[in-house]
Copies of this chain bind each other. A is one copy, B any other.
Amino acid sequence: MTKKVSPLTDLQIASQATMKSIWTIAKEAGIPEEAVEPYGRFKAKIDVTKLAESSKDGKVVLVTAISPTPAGEGKSTVTVGLADALSKLGEKTMIALREPSLGPVMGMKGGATGGGYAQVLPMEEINLHFNGDIHAITTANNALSALIDNHLHHGNVLRIDPRRITWKRVLDMNDRALRNITIGLGGPTQGVPREDGFDITVASEVMAIFCLATSLQDLKERLARIVIGYTYDKEAVTVRDLGVQGALVLLLKEAFKPNLVQTIEGTPALIHGGPFANIAHGCNSLIATNTARKLADIVVTEAGFGADLGAEKFMNIKARQGGFSPDAVVIVATVRALKMHGGVPKNQLAEENVQAVTDGLVNLAKHIDTIRAFGVQPVVALNKFITDTGAELEVIFEWCEENEIRVALTDVWERGGDGGIALAQEVLKLLDEPNNFAPLYDVEQPVSDKITAIVQKVYGGLGVVFTEQALKDLKNIENNGWGILPICMAKTQYSFSDDPKILGRPEGFTITVRKIIPKLGAGFLVCLTGDIMTMPGLPKTPAALQMDIDLQGNAVGLM
């Protein structure tokens, strides 16, 4: 969410907006009534099986960013504002976004519905529980955990080794105390003692599966393929062995329908699925993107954090699995983040510092190179903040001109779609050009080559170092024939390297992979690097402390 100096908070702006009925939004988007399942007056689930056949395949505009500051650079805000601008220019446009996790909402970063006059609505309900999808995913994940422990308790016919269960429980919460736990304590009637841990739901394989499945039957098949651990003979145990894929898909059935909402300016948006991009693959559901492509000529979508994370996975995992090409990429940059990469401490980002902006451009340059390496052309969206000075902006524009980089200033926080017209025009130009999209590696390559390709071509590093554990994991993966899957890197969003403190455009570094987790259902191999955590913690003063209701029962203090 973009923080600007404004007399109104995002929540206040959202509350004052006049929404159209969700029936009107659906109609305008070409969704027939029978496919609309309203959730209140301004949200709906879409039964995609009831959509008319369409030969349309709308173009895909991916919004990504430079390596971000902790507050984010306003990627969702630009996504919304760009779509509103494209709509204003007469393009049939739809948004595909991720659903917010409650972890950051209660913690530090706030919600994920855009900001200012570029928001999806109803902001408050989307940020809190939305239509229950993430809760359904949490439930399916934890039902599987309960069924595994119940299997151990009732005789363990499959001979699952409790020390080798890799399936973890999840909560949609920042809760560090649940990272490492022991369960099943208290004697023979209380289960089988073992080590376990909770991840945040958005890092779970169920979430990844949910976001990559193309139909309910595909969802079920993927769930069946999940490896939950190993037997005493070190044979993989799957959900199919436990026979519970039917129960899991049943728990996910309603959640799997994409959610329709609207922007403040009335552009339709599908918001569905929400894996983080640092610890998971970072894109909204494929079914939402595919549905939007059937309905609109242009789909504006977002991948989480910087282009080294969300965009890389969007290209190498989602677009590859979905069989489509991203037609244009928007890289969101801010003066603040550039200054940070230029060496300015976080508490001085509001002060003018032209040299630091100049120095920080190396970070942007690397992300541009990355996108071009995929055969796709980028445009830089310079997302305006109230503290930006003319000299700071100028140095960026000059640099872009020198380097033949498309760039547009966006002011969608303050002005909605009007503030995104320049960007929209640049995007439309890009969409008229051919692109030569190709993933950066072949899935047939050896696992270490695939990881090395990402490290070298996307992060700009020398190569990869595997820990003892990672080498063991690699051997297990190869022995089981799982080496042909693509890679899902789990890496800090703050740096190209695996050290969050190394900003800018580092060189000469290696990435240490400490663990590789095969996710057979999702269809990728997760590589944990550095000290990235799959369960975040809350800050000392969490956002929750500011939250409340007023006397009329309206939300207060949501960011």
CA distance A190 to B128 in the complex (A): 26
A537 touches B176 (CB 8 A): no
B102 touches A549 (CB 8 A): no
A147 touches B190 (CB 8 A): no
B139 touches A244 (CB 8 A): no
CA distance A152 to B142 in the complex (A): 26
Q: Select from chain B the residue with minimum beta-carbon distance to A216.
A: B553
Q: CB of A484 within 8 A of chain B?
A: no
CB contact between A135 and one of B37, B139, B538 (< 8 Å): that residue: B139
Q: CB of A132 within 8 A of chain B?
A: yes
Q: CB of A322 within 8 A of chain B?
A: no
B37 touches A37 (CB 8 A): no
Q: Mark A119-155, 1 if CB is under 8 A from B, else 0.
A: 0000001001101100110110011011101101111
Per CB-CB distance, the 8 closest pairs between chain A and chain B, nearest first, are A246-B548, A177-B191, A135-B135, A149-B177, A247-B544, A180-B186, A247-B547, A146-B175
B181 touches A542 (CB 8 A): no
Q: How far is the CB of A501 from chain B (nearest CB, A)?
A: 16
Q: How far is the CB of A433 from chain B (nearest CB, A)?
A: 40
CA distance A171 to B551 in the complex (A): 30
**Chain B residues near A251 (CB, 8 Å)?**
128-129
A185 touches B184 (CB 8 A): no
Interface centre among A142, A146, A246 (most CB of B within 10 A): A146
Q: How far is the CB of A402 from chain B (nearest CB, A)?
A: 44
Copies per complex? 2
B147 touches A176 (CB 8 A): no
Task: Identify which of residues 31-66 in chain A touch chain B, using a CB-to-CB cut-off of 8 Å.
Answer: 37-41, 45, 49
Q: CB of A174 within 8 A of chain B?
A: yes
CB contact between A250 and one of B39, B190, B548 (< 8 Å): that residue: B548
- Sample of 25 A–B contacts (CB below 8 Å): A39-B40, A106-B143, A106-B146, A129-B139, A129-B254, A132-B132, A135-B139, A139-B172, A146-B177, A150-B176, A150-B177, A150-B538, A150-B540, A176-B189, A177-B184, A178-B183, A179-B186, A179-B190, A181-B183, A216-B549, A220-B549, A246-B557, A247-B545, A250-B555, A253-B555
A177 touches B190 (CB 8 A): yes
Q: Which residues of A pack against B, CB within 8 Å? A: 37-41, 45, 49, 102, 106, 125, 128-129, 131-132, 135-136, 138-139, 142-143, 145-147, 149-150, 152-155, 171-186, 189-192, 194, 216-217, 220, 243-244, 246-247, 249-251, 253-255, 537-538, 540, 542, 544-549, 551, 553, 555-558
A191 touches B173 (CB 8 A): no
CB contact between A37 and one of B41, B149, B178, B181 (< 8 Å): that residue: B41
Q: How far is the CB of A268 from chain B (nearest CB, A)?
A: 19
Q: How far is the CB of A306 from chain B (nearest CB, A)?
A: 24
Q: Select from chain B the residue with minimum beta-carbon distance to A244.
A: B544
B538 touches A249 (CB 8 A): no
Q: Select from chain B the residue with minimum beta-carbon distance to A189.
A: B176
A38-B39, A150-B537 provided; 12 other pairs, C-beta below 8 A? A38-B40, A39-B39, A49-B553, A135-B138, A139-B173, A150-B540, A150-B542, A153-B537, A176-B191, A180-B184, A216-B549, A246-B549
Q: How far is the CB of A251 from chain B (nearest CB, A)?
A: 6
**Chain B residues near A171 (CB, 8 Å)?**
142
B250 touches A143 (CB 8 A): no
